Structures are given as C-alpha cells and as structure tokens.
C-alpha cells in the first residue's frame, strides 16, 4: 500500500504536448502527474468507483489508484477480531490471520495453536486455571476414552510399519486432567508436559530385574493433531522400555521421542501438523530441542530404518 500525492499542472504551449496515460491523446490545459505518468484530470480515476480522483491524497495498490474512502472500504484487509480496516501497521499470525496490533495485549493466545482468543470465543464455564483454547482446537479436541483408544491403536500400527515393533503389548491409553498428570509426572517434567509414560521397575537384591510399561496418560482435551503427536512421543518412551534400552541421557531419549513426533507431523502434512513440527524444530530447550536436533542429525546420516535397528540391537544411541 502506498499513499501518494497528485501534482496538478497547467500545460505550456510547446512543440510537443504531453500525452494522457489514460486516453493516449495530447493534453491542452490542465493535467495531472501521478504514478510516474501524465493524465487528463478526468481520466485519472479510482479503480473501485471509476470516478476521477480529485483529492490531493490517494492510495495505490498493485499498480491501481484509489480514493482514500474506496481504498479503506474495498481494498485493505479487515481485522479478524474487530472488523476494522487495517489502514496502518498490523500483525499477521502463523495462520495468516490479520489483526490490529492492540489485540496482541488484549486477548490471550490459544495454548495449542497460538491463535488469539477474544472473550466471546473462549470456553464457557472454563476454570481460570485452565488453558485457553480457540474454537478450532476445541472442535477437534479428544475428550472421550473410546475416541482416544481408536486413535492410539492406529498410531501403534503406524509405528509398527516404520520398524518400531511393539509385539502387541497390553498398552493402555488414559485421559487425565492436569492435576492427575502432574501426579503421574512426579516432578519429572515441566508445567508444559502434555503426556507421560508410566513404568514399573522390578528389583531383586538391589538390582533391576526388568522394567514394564504400565500405560500412557495424555491430557484430556488436546486437539486431535496434537493429541496424536503427544501419543507418538510417549510411544517412543514405551518402545525404548520394551526393547530394554535404558540409561540413555535425557537429551537422547527425549530427542528420539521428539523425532518420532516430528516425523508423524510431517507425514500428516496439514497446517496444524506443520505448526507443531515447527515448534519441535525451533524448540530452544537443551533437552527436548537440542536433543531432537542431535538425534535427527544421526537418523538423517544413517537413514531412519538403520538408525532404529542400530538403537534396538546395541541398546545405545549411535555415536555422533
């Protein structure tokens, strides 16, 4: 968008008369200089209403000219939240949503996709301690256990097809609230954790005999895409345990599980999945983010199938 100024001039008698850009005829008398060309005043017109632009100020957009009012009413985008024309600087989120700058501090962001959520779009009856969800994430939220089980079984089949054999263990998926999730985590992760894999360790004479996977718990109400990505991450932990791969450094174990999630998001190939994959790729956390990048580098160099097989047979992360 560009606001420009008309220059109105009286032509002088000379050997070559100026030529109007609009009609291609010579000009005798007053003419306008605008857009790097010369015009009869009646031929420099608005691209919307097609009436002459007689105002001193006008707007240009993609090579066309507009009255200020026409530009405001028909060309500029509208704020997605208040509907005002965005005549000055505005913001655009990851999803291409355009909105007034002031809304950035007025409205909370959706905890799962980052969209702004004005009051009228927020969960009715939600507790003040709960995270804000936008209508889009709320519409696909996984709230029931039968729905969760169906998605969970499909994910296990996908990972089996990629070489992560589970051999039909009795893995159970559980939907929990934040209080229960915090209890299951028992301080093992931060407040942003969305899932956990629970284990039972059997000891004999002070030595670990075996470790069993009890199940996987995921926060209730996650949007479907994120729910599945979290399940894949937790299935990574479960696979490591079932294969007897223990004692990996935190960055290696979490990086491996994040790699599985990122691969799942990439294969899903939707706007939401790309958003979550980007969050993994850009995560600055030294365990989850840097761990993911280190593990991905190894898997890219070796090839994913060989990487997984090496991890399974050697019980340790391949050397960098």
pLDDT at 2 over 80: no
Query: How do residues 193-251 score in pLDDT, each as one tens digit?
Result: 899 998 776 666 666 656 778 889 999 999 999 999 999 999 999 999 989 898 899 99
Question: Which region, left, alpha or beta, applies to residue 167 given φ > 0 means left and ψ of -120 to 50 means alpha?
Answer: left
pLDDT at 13 over 50: no
pLDDT category of residue 98 using cuts at 50, 70 and 90: very high
Residue with tokens 């935190």: 250
pLDDT at 118 over 70: yes
Q: Please state, for a pLDDT cut of 90, what percent of the chain lies above it.
A: 66
Q: What is the pTM of this model?
A: 0.80
The mean-pLDDT minimum among 1-15, 70-84, 151-165, 279-293 falls in 1-15
Higher pLDDT, 140 or 189: 140
Among 5, 11, 62, 10, which Cα is nearest to 34's?
5
Residue 226 neighbours by CB under 8 Å, 6+ apart: 112, 137, 194, 272, 276
pLDDT at residue 295 in the model: 97
- With beta carbons less than 8 A apart as the criterion, state whether 41 and 8 touch: yes
CB contact burial 310-320 (16+ within 10 A = b; e otherwise): bbbeeeebeee
CB atoms closer than 10 angstroms to residue 191? 7
pLDDT at residue 172 in the model: 87
pLDDT at residue 189 in the model: 64
pLDDT category of residue 170 using cuts at 50, 70 and 90: confident
The mean-pLDDT minimum among 10-24, 130-144, 160-174, 250-264 falls in 10-24
- With beta carbons less than 8 A apart as the criterion, state whether 220 and 196 touch: no
pLDDT at residue 6 in the model: 54
Which H, E and C letters describe the chain, residue by residue?
CEEEECEEEECCCCCCCCECCCCCCECCCEEEEECCEEECHHHCECCCCCCECCCCEEEEECCEEECHHHHHHHCCCECCCCCCECCCCEEECCCCCEEECCHHHHCCECCCCCCECCHHHCCCCCCCCCCCCCHHHHHCECCCHHHHHHHHHHHHHHHHHCCCCCCCCCCCEEEECHHHHHHHHCCCCCCCCCEEEEEEEEEECCEEEEEEEEEEEEECCCEHHHHHHHHHHHHHHHHHHHCCCCCCCHHHHHHHHHHHHHHHHHHHCCHHHHHHHHHHHCCCCCCHHHHHHHHHHHHHHHCHHHHHHHHHHHCCCCCC
pLDDT category of residue 71 using cuts at 50, 70 and 90: very high
Among 243, 248, 238, which Cα is nearest to 298's?
248
Mean of the pLDDT values across residues 73-98? 93
pLDDT at residue 54 in the model: 83
Mean pLDDT score of the chain, rounded to an integer? Answer: 88
pLDDT at 36 over 50: yes
pLDDT at residue 35 in the model: 86
- With beta carbons less than 8 A apart as the criterion, state whether 33 and 9 touch: yes
Domains and CATH numbers, the chain: 2-74 (2.10.110.10), 90-139 (no CATH), 145-314 (no CATH)
- With beta carbons less than 8 A apart as the criterion, state whether 233 and 155 touch: no
d(CA 152, CA 146): 10
């Amino acid at each position: 968008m560009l606001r420009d100024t008309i220059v109105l001039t009286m032509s002088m008698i000379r050997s070559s008369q100026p030529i109007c850009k609009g009609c291609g005829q010579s000009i005798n008398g007053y003419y306008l200089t605008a857009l790097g060309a010369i015009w009869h005043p009646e031929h420099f017109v608005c691209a919307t209403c097609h009436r002459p632009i007689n105002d001193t100020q006008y707007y240009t957009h993609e090579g066309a000219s507009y009255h200020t009012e026409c530009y405001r009413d028909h060309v500029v985008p509208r704020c997605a939240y208040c509907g005002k024309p965005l005549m000055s600087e505005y913001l655009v989120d990851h999803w291409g949503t355009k909105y007034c700058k002031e809304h950035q501090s007025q409205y909370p962001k959706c905890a799962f996709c980052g969209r702004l959520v004005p009051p009228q779009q927020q969960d009715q009856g939600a507790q003040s301690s709960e995270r804000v969800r936008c209508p889009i994430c709320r519409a696909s939220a996984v709230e029931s256990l039968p729905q969760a089980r169906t998605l969970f079984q499909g994910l296990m089949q996908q990972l089996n097809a990629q070489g992560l054999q589970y051999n039909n263990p009795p893995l159970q998926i559980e939907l929990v609230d934040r209080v229960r999730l915090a209890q299951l985590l028992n301080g093992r992760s931060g407040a942003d954790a969305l899932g956990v894999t629970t284990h039972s360790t059997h000891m004999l004479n002070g030595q670990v005999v075996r470790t069993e996977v009890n199940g996987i718990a995921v926060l209730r109400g996650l949007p479907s895409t994120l729910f599945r990505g979290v399940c894949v991450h937790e299935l990574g932990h479960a696979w490591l345990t079932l294969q007897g791969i223990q004692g990996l450094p935190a960055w290696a174990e979490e990086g491996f599980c994040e790699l599985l999630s990122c691969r799942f998001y990439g294969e899903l190939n939707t706007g939401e999945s790309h958003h979550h994959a980007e969050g993994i790729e850009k995560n600055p956390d030294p365990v989850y983010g840097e761990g993911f990048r280190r593990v991905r580098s190894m898997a890219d160099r070796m090839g994913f199938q060989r990487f997984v097989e090496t991890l399974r047979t050697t019980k340790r992360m391949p050397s960098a």
